[in-house]
Amino acid sequence: MGTIGAIISWIVFGLVIGLLARALYPGKQKIGVTNTIALGIGGSIVGGLIAWALGYRPDGGAFQGAGWIMSIVGALIVVWGATAMGGKRVG
């Protein structure tokens, strides 16, 4: 997969994870599509770091995504943090 394909897959993955996190987080978040994608990508990174800190080391040694569940957990943490810092408004 080339660079463009990788960027498109990160965008789609970020959108799906961001939408799932927003659906699971209580309350309404006023976030646009671009911020939802950023939320999903950021959540995936946070989830990957949490998995790494807990001892998960993927085979091959390369940095890989934490998987769907940890990505969603990470995105929920990002939404919570943004909500806590900015009151009820996110985005």
pLDDT in tens, 4-44: 988 888 889 889 998 999 899 888 878 889 988 998 899 88
Q: Which H helix or E strand runs over 40?
A: helix 33-53
| pTM of model > 0.85 | no
Is pLDDT above 80 for 3?
A: yes
Q: Which of 47, 49, 53 is nearest to 77 (CA)?
A: 47
Of residues 58 and 9, which shows the higher confidence score? 9
When the pLDDT of each residue in the chain is averaged and rounded to a whole number, the result is: 81
- DSSP helix/strand/coil, 54: coil
- For the chain, what are the domain ranges? 3-85
pLDDT tier, 58 (very low <50, low <70, confident <90, very high otherwise): low
